[in-house]
């Protein structure tokens, strides 16, 4: 009996000592990891989810961000260069120094990988520093740098410029055709034009430039006086106000030339749904007649003016 009681007391004392030892270990861990424990309790809202509110000392605790030190890797490589027969053979040392500066997430992943393979990495790095690799040409240097345990530099692919989408529309332009008997007839052609914010101005400039070589081969002509320029253009209430320079007033063909130049502009402008007629302006001024023979331009002209 006495022996059993003594054994029981020894067991109780041993258990009590274990409890005290465990408590001390937990207390040490708590003191060492106090900031981490408070930070986790604050970020996970442990007390708020379990008891409905968070203690004041947890709320006032500031969460400190861990800074991961930058990793600087220095790899020294030697390259052997071939010299001329008159020079002695030598070995040139080509140092490669690369600094890896990655963002926070990349540094954390590298830090974890370092912890797992610290022994192997340290030994391999020391071995590389003591016995640098010797290569004979630049191709071997690049291959060694690519296959090294630390990714020194990633090859950057050239940026491909974005392709701009161009919308092309077929615009109708009006020229004239002079028959063998001298009669004038209206001829419509289509031109592919890049879509823009000023289609009326674009079409007028194409018309003033005249027919191209293929159109001229078909006998198409423009009777708008050479040197005519469009100074401004605007559209209000279905009327296109087209302002030309003073060269627009002088047509060497005569009456038929004046009629043809007005007709070409009116038909080209009224191809747009927003234009019903054209008011001609010369150097910003409205004139009643065009040319010495007096063709009326004092009011807007429409297609019906040339029937």
Gap between the Cα atoms of 187 and 216, Å rounded = 12
Gap between the Cα atoms of 186 and 209, Å rounded = 17
Average pLDDT, integer, range 193-215: 95
Question: Which structure tokens are listed for 170?
Answer: 């077929």
Q: Where does the chain have alpha helices with state H?
A: 2-32, 34-44, 46-51, 56-59, 104-116, 118-130, 138-147, 199-209, 213-217, 255-269
The dihedral sign for the CA sequence 264, 269, 271, 277: negative
Look up the pTM and report it.
Answer: 0.49
pLDDT of res. 278: 97
Least confident of 22-26, 96-100, 169-173, 271-275: 96-100
Average pLDDT, integer, range 19-46: 76
pLDDT of res. 66: 57
pLDDT of res. 259: 94
Residue of 249 and 160 predicted with greater confidence: 249
pLDDT of res. 282: 96
Residue 126, pLDDT above cutoff 70? no
The model's confidence at residue 75, banded by pLDDT at 50, 70 and 90, is very low
Average pLDDT, integer, range 28-44: 74
User: Residue 73, SS3?
Assistant: strand
Residue of 248 and 100 predicted with greater confidence: 248
């Amino acid at each position: 009996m006495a022996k059993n009681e003594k054994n029981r007391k020894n067991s109780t004392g041993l258990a009590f000592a274990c409890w005290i030892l465990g408590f001390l270990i937990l207390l040490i861990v708590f003191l060492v990891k106090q900031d981490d424990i408070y930070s986790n309790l604050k970020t996970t809202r442990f007390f708020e989810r379990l008891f409905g509110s968070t203690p004041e000392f947890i709320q006032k605790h500031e969460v400190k961000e861990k800074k991961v030190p930058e990793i600087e890797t220095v790899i020294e490589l030697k390259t052997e260069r071939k010299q001329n027969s008159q020079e002695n053979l030598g070995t040139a040392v080509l140092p490669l120094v690369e600094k890896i500066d990655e963002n926070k997430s990349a540094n954390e992943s590298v830090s974890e990988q370092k912890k797992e393979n610290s022994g192997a990495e340290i030994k391999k790095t020391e071995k590389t520093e003591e016995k640098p690799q010797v290569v004979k040409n630049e191709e071997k240097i690049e291959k060694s740098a690519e296959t090294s345990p630390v990714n020194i530099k990633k090859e950057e692919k050239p940026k491909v410029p974005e392709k701009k989408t161009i919308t092309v529309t077929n615009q109708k332009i009006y020229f004239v055709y002079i028959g063998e008997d001298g009669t004038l007839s209206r001829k419509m052609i289509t031109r592919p034009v890049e879509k823009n914010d000023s289609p009326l101005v674009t079409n007028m400039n194409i018309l003033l430039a005249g027919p191209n070589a293929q159109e001229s081969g078909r006998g198409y002509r423009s009777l708008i006086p050479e040197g005519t320029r469009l100074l401004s253009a605007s559209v209000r209430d279905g009327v296109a106000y087209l302002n030309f320079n003073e060269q627009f007033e002088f047509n060497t063909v005569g009456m038929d030339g004046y009629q043809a130049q007005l007709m070409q502009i009116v038909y080209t402008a009224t191809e747009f749904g927003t234009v019903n007629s054209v008011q001609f302006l010369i150097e910003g001024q409205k004139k009643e007649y065009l040319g010495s023979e007096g063709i009326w331009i004092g009011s807007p002209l429409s297609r019906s003016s040339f029937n």
